[in-house]
């Protein structure tokens, strides 16, 4: 294996993706609502240089995690430092860091990444403490480092994620959205696509 290839593989394994899905594997014809040109433009990674965020909202199975991962893999190929975490994993890690007095170094580590991918925000609600720590992280990365976030909940329901705290949710949304690329996908689930095919 070439040296550069090895270093890319190392970046990919350090990123801890849940699945290795690439942009080339994504079928844009199946999900026409997604602006393919916009995603391709993002894959050139200028959004990382500009510390902009990418937000994928939509129901299960529409490709949010796939696209977030695919952009993350592109970033690894460009030797960026990437970390992929589910929102609940992130909440657990922040709470542990806080309770062991390691929060400052945890936040520094998370802020030193070129790209932080937070998957599945909204599947599990955050405690009040986790919500506050999450806000600190988003505020620290604001205008300094990109976040890609996926969620099954539209913004008006984000208060429910953060223990009913609509003010905190608004403060988080405000910072995430300010410099961002928003994809709201309402299309069909790819997971069940074949289930509805007519039997010949």
Which residues contact Mg ion (rule: CB under 5 A)? 64-65
DSSP H stretches of helix in 16-127? 36-42, 46-49, 64-77, 87-99, 103-112
Distance (Å, whole) CA 19 – CA 66: 8
- Residues 87-126 vs ligand ADP: string with x where CB under 6 A? ----------------------------------------
Taking CB under 6 A as the criterion, the residue among 64, 74, 80, 141 binding ligand ADP is 64
Q: Which stretch binds ligand ADP (CB under 6 A): 46-54, 64-72, 104-112, 140-148?
A: 64-72
> In the chain, where do the E strands start and end?
53-57, 82-86, 115-121, 146-151, 180-184
Contact status: 21 vs ligand ADP (CB under 6 A): yes
73 binds ligand ADP (CB under 6 A): no
Contacts of 187 (CB under 8 A, 6+ apart): 30, 31, 32, 33, 34, 58, 62
3-state secondary structure of 82: strand
Q: Which is nearer to ligand ADP, 31 or 168 (CB)?
A: 31
Residues that bind ligand ADP (CB under 6 A): 21, 25-27, 30-31, 58, 60-66, 150, 190-191
């Amino acid at each position: 294996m070439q040296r550069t290839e090895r270093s890319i593989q190392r970046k990919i394994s350090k990123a801890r993706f849940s699945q290795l899905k690439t942009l080339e594997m994504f079928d844009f014809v199946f999900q026409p609502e997604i602006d393919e040109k916009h995603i391709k433009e993002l894959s050139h990674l200028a959004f990382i240089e500009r510390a902009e965020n990418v937000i994928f909202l939509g129901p299960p199975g529409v490709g949010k995690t796939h696209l977030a991962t695919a952009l993350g893999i592109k970033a690894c190929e460009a030797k960026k430092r990437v970390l992929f975490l589910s929102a609940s994993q992130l909440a657990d890690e922040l709470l542990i860091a806080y309770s062991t007095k390691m929060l400052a170094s945890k936040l520094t580590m998370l802020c030193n990444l070129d790209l932080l991918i937070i998957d599945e925000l909204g599947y599990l609600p955050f405690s009040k403490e986790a919500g506050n720590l999450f806000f600190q992280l988003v505020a620290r990365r604001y205008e300094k480092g990109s976040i890609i976030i996926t969620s099954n909940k539209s913004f008006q329901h984000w208060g429910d994620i953060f223990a009913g705290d609509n003010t905190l949710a608004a403060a988080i949304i405000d910072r995430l959205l300010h410099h961002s690329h928003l994809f709201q996908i309402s299309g069909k689930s790819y997971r069940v696509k074949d289930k509805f095919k007519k039997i010949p």
